[in-house]
Structure 1
Amino acid sequence: MDKLKNTLSVIDAVVPPGSKVVYLDIPLHLNVGDLLIYKGTEQFFKERKYQVLARRTDKTSMKWLSENRNLPKDVILLMHGGGNFGDLYGHHQRLREAVVERFPHHKIVYMPQTVHFKDQSKMLQSAQIIRQHKNLTIFCRDERSKKILEEHFCKDVRLCPDMAHALWNVFPKQSANHIQRETLWMIRKDIEETKVDGLPGMPGPEGYEDWEDICTEQDRSRTRVYLNFERVNRTLNTRLFNTPQKWSDYTDTLVNRVNSYFMAHDTVVTSRMHGHILCCLLGVKTKLLDNSYGKNSGYYASWTKDVPDCELITL
């Protein structure tokens, strides 16, 4: 895990410490995996002493583009990383395309991503837009993504672990007195749903959880408040609410609660990549299942196969 955190330094050659940056596409939703990427990215910024001139959530990033056409040339635009590069989550891909179209003379960096397109024609359409940019670097989390990106999207593609690894030695570590339960079954229930038929010991759907189950009604209520803040900011063409700061403070509390929940289990069996990465950060035993298109097995092979108490389960 020390090595994985240190490997994030590959970003330094592209975005040197002390750089002036804008951070776009911050996740304003309750996918805790995306929040771990977000927290790791902010930790990385802090350690590198970046000058963050603006932060915008995924709900107001597009609006920011239209309002800031005269950005100083030494500012680097950074796009939040994760697993939404492709056609499963169209809003985020359209934002990536818009950034390269509206800032053709700025350095742009897509933070570590996994790539997946179901529709080849949509991939080619997106690639036609993105590859026009002459100062774009794309970091990616696995060899398969790197191959797709180099062939179609960008000449400057670099392998990098997920940004959540910046949280190593920031989060607590599990000890024996944390453990209160045997196994947490954390299985995806969304569009990347995992087939788990035949897995020994697997409970029925009522016996496993996803991020939405771990989050509370209060979390959902608070998220709606912040979404309304962003709606007002867009509608009134204002920054009346500093949503990124309020969201950052609230999600610190949320992530700490999730950490405690994970550490209360002896083992976590999960098809969530960041369920797995979180276990690595906390020192919790983890058994990783693949998602619907091989993202998890690709990540495991590239980065976490040598982390103690980690296992990839193939069905």
Structure 2
Amino acid sequence: MVQKKAIGMLNFLKDKIMVEVTPLIKNDYIFLDLPYYTNIGDTLIWKGTEEFLKTLPYKCRYRAAIETYRKPTISRDVIILLQGGGNFGDIWRRHTDFCLRIIHEFPENRIIVLPQTVYYADITVLKADAERMAKHPNLTICARDLVTHELLKTNFSNNNILLLPDMAFCIPQSYLNKYIQPVEDKTLFFKRKDKEFQSFDFRKHLRNHSNVEEHEWPSMEKRLIGNNILNYLKSAHGIFSRFKFLGAITAKVVDWYAIHIYMPYLVKIGIQFLSSYQYIFTTRLHGAILAVLLQKTITFFDNSYGKNSSFYNTWLKDAKEIEFVEREL
């Protein structure tokens, strides 16, 4: 019965995306701000987005990360998609700056920012961004949680605002099944180690569990060959990007490797890693999302600014398999 309820929730979340986003994409498109880096969570978002896009009858004309982006020549009816995630605002600023650049470069194209958590520590930065985005006549920003949705509705009211779940929920079960590992008698403490980390009395929650292993994403802990190859290619592109012809060639090489090799490589590693644990404690949102996709039982901790709690309260609070731990304010 529990498994049936979980599957029902997953189908609801995926269907929500299909119903809301599909009508917005009525032509060929380009897909930008791809995550050519080691965060498997962002890569799961990318993979889910690609799976969603496969259901559409249109072509992707161009894909690129911030590092490889070169303004393409496209007609005004080509739609621009920007990768979703948790990097809209002033914490991970380079992604919002890139979004603003695209808005400026393509004033006549429909632009869709896929589901994001939005956070601003500085209200003046928020107002400046909202003012610039308000000038675009066809910008849709998808909120990934109710707190973000309210913030966008209040401050970005000139833009089209939607409430949607994370794109990783579009990863099909058949794809996950290819890489699921046998479950071992061990518990994962999935602890992020960046500026979104929120401290708790973790020992209180972990003390009743045995065989506890503390890890980050494997791509962040180990010098994986896939990471090394991508870093080498990105470095080469950085050297040659000042030359128009050579820069264009190296950008294409990096894009090809990231899209066809690196992305599926990281997704595979992430699934293999998480699927082997009996129980999961996670401080990462996509530790929770992938665990839900794998139908695991978990304890989910909030992050430093409430991203995890906002997402949980919007989409996952009815999941009996999840115990959520709020920030201790």
> Fold match, TM over 0.5?
yes
TM-score (norm 1): 0.90
In the alignment, is the contact (CA less than 8 A) between 1:173 and 1:281 conserved in 2? no
Instruction: Name stretches of at least 5 consecutive residues in structure 2 with no aligned partner.
Output: 1-9
In the alignment, is the contact (CA less than 8 A) between 2:48 and 2:171 conserved in 1? yes
- The alpha-carbon deviation at position 81 of structure 1 amounts to 0.5
* Shift in CA distance, 302/73, structure 1 to aligned 2, threshold 3 Å: same
Tell me whether 194-203 or 113-122 shows the greater mean CA deviation: 194-203
Percent of paired sites with the same residue: 28
Runs of 4+ in structure 1 over 4 Å off:
173-177, 212-215
In 2, Cα distance between equivalents of 1:280 and 1:215: 25
> Aligned pair 1:208/2:211, yes or no?
no
Residue of structure 2 equivalent to 1:11: 21
Residue of structure 1 equivalent to 2:171: 167
* Shift in CA distance, 47/208, structure 1 to aligned 2, threshold 3 Å: same
In 2, Cα distance between equivalents of 1:227 and 1:116: 29
- The alpha-carbon deviation at position 198 of structure 1 amounts to 4.9
* Equivalent position amino acid for 1:156 in 2: N
In 2, Cα distance between equivalents of 1:141 and 1:185: 25
* Shift in CA distance, 94/193, structure 1 to aligned 2, threshold 3 Å: same
Residue of structure 2 equivalent to 1:124: 127
- The alpha-carbon deviation at position 174 of structure 1 amounts to 10
- The alpha-carbon deviation at position 251 of structure 1 amounts to 2.5
> Aligned pair 1:290/2:302, yes or no?
yes
> Aligned pair 1:34/2:38, yes or no?
no
SS of corresponding position for 1:311: strand
- The alpha-carbon deviation at position 191 of structure 1 amounts to 0.8
Residue of structure 1 equivalent to 2:7: none
* Shift in CA distance, 186/106, structure 1 to aligned 2, threshold 3 Å: same
In 1, Cα distance between equivalents of 2:202 and 2:265: 37
Query: 1:1-315 to 2 correspondence within 5 Å?
Result: 1-9=10-18, 10-16=20-26, 19-61=27-69, 64-65=70-71, 68=72, 70-153=73-156, 154-173=158-177, 178-202=182-206, 208-211=214-217, 212-232=219-239, 234-237=241-244, 238-241=247-250, 242=252, 243-248=254-259, 249-314=261-326, 315=328
In 1, Cα distance between equivalents of 2:283 and 2:202: 15
* Equivalent position amino acid for 1:312 in 2: F
Q: Deviations over 1:100-133 (max 9, x none)?
A: 1121111111010000011111111111111111
In the alignment, is the contact (CA less than 8 A) between 2:184 and 2:277 conserved in 1? yes
* Shift in CA distance, 297/286, structure 1 to aligned 2, threshold 3 Å: same
RMSD: 2.3
In the alignment, is the contact (CA less than 8 A) between 1:80 and 1:110 conserved in 2? yes
Q: Deviations over 1:111-163 (max 9, x none)?
A: 10000011111111111111111111111111111111122224310001111
In the alignment, is the contact (CA less than 8 A) between 1:174 and 1:263 conserved in 2? no
In the alignment, is the contact (CA less than 8 A) between 1:23 and 1:52 conserved in 2? yes
- The alpha-carbon deviation at position 92 of structure 1 amounts to 0.7
SS of corresponding position for 2:37: coil
SS of corresponding position for 2:228: helix
